[in-house]
Amino acid sequence: MANFKVVTGALNVRVGPSIKERSINTINEGDIVAQCAPTIFTAPAVGIVSEVSTRHPTVRTWLKIEDGANEGWTSLKFLDDQPNGSFKVNNTSGPGTSVRSEPFIPQAPHPDNSVGTLTNGISLPVGDMVAEIEINSPETRKWVRLDLGAAPSGWASMRLLEPTASATNVTPAKYEVTADNLHVRARPTLESDILGDVSKGTQLLDGAITNDGDRRWMKISAPVSGFVAMKFLSRVSAVPVPAGTPKWYAIARGQQGIKEFTGPRDNPEVVKYLESCSTLSRSLQRDDETAWCSAFVNWCVEQAGFEGTESASARSWMHWGHSIAAPTLGCIVVLNRGSNPAFGHVGFFVKAAGGLVYLLGGNQSDTVNVTAFSQSRVLSNGFRMR
């Protein structure tokens, strides 16, 4: 049974292997999830269970059968719908249809995967259905069924998953409300009806994430069922933070693993950091390749209820708060970058050891993570606290 790591952004988990199916959960970048042992299948011809646009002429739909003697998959090609929701085997060109261990027909040199035969006239209950495409196509999307522990499990697209040796199952993420009073709306749009409010500090279990133009929304089920704007949510860190640590450091911990998207797409999580910098043009705010270390610090500080610098310049933090002689967990650290006095880097202090200073920051190898830097790069008065 394989395990997978979410490699970027937020990934919807659905009730079935199709983007048309309802989303029942969301997992986030860095989460580790286990494959469901009973209902996931690998196939040498098509990989994981695949879905393809129904416009394509080579789609084959498969029905999962679990009746003891004939457990496996059979093609709907030889099944007729019944009024009670079941299917009846009806192969007009033969005595029945094959049951296969996996939802595909293997091509040579792969071995046959037939495990039994269904005779004409047998009725079958409705089970899991998946689609297989018999040729390579850019429309193909591969799906895997995931075990999310106590959270609702389901199918997720493998576009944002990579295999991992880790066996730790994901714990559903939580978000904390950062606005004084956050509206819950009937639909993910500002024009939608307000169904209730959630107060500052309330923790919400993560749900399906959707976009309305430039605004991102998350579906919640409690304390009020509806949609809330993610602009006013901060992911709660799964790593315990010591008492007395600045609030912004706990917020930063909850962002670990977020990184730039490769290619032309821009990670909306990075964009939300950049939007905290009023000194940037709108086009730069929307580009996750814009230098965003200071934007990340700004966003975390603002989410904690403090004013940041609103600047994308790392050295702007030299004029924020006050300097401290010795660093403390979560304080802001400003570094130089090369010989240009205008360039720098900024992050939150984690520890110092062996001539290195470890910072939790953004845009560190294009990611929010903890990275070690030479302590000689810390600017004079570069340890800052509010």
Q: Examine domains 174-235 and 247-385 and report if their fold is the same.
A: yes
Q: Are 17 and 23 in contact (CB under 8 A)?
A: no
Tell me the torsion sign for CA atoms 117, 121, 126, 130: positive
pTM over 0.85: no
Q: Find where tokens 């035969």 sit.
A: 117
Q: 116 is written with which tokens?
A: 């039994």
Domains of the chain by residue range: 64-133, 174-235, 247-385
- Indicate the CATH number for domain 174-235: 2.30.30.40
In angstroms and rounded to an integer, the radius of gyration of the C-alpha atoms of the chain is 26
Q: Are 17 and 46 in contact (CB under 8 A)?
A: no
256-311 pLDDT, tens per residue? 878 888 777 788 889 999 999 999 999 999 999 999 999 999 999 999 999 999 99
Provide the pLDDT for residue 314: 98
Helices and strands of the chain, counted as H and E runs: 4, 32
Task: Quickly list DSSP for 279-315.
Answer: TS-HHHHT-TTS--HHHHHHHHHHHTT------S-GG
Provide the pLDDT for residue 53: 39
Dist CA 100 CA 275 (whole Å): 52
Dist CA 375 CA 351 (whole Å): 11
Average pLDDT for the chain: 80
Provide the pLDDT for residue 31: 76
303-361 pLDDT, tens per residue? 999 999 999 999 999 999 999 999 999 999 999 998 898 999 999 999 999 999 999 99
Dist CA 247 CA 252 (whole Å): 9
Bridge partners of 336?
Answer: 344
Residue 117 CB partners (closer than 8 Å, separation 6+) = 95, 96, 97, 98, 99
- CATH class, domain 247-385, is mainly beta
**What element of type H or E holds 268?**
helix 268-274
Provide the pLDDT for residue 348: 98
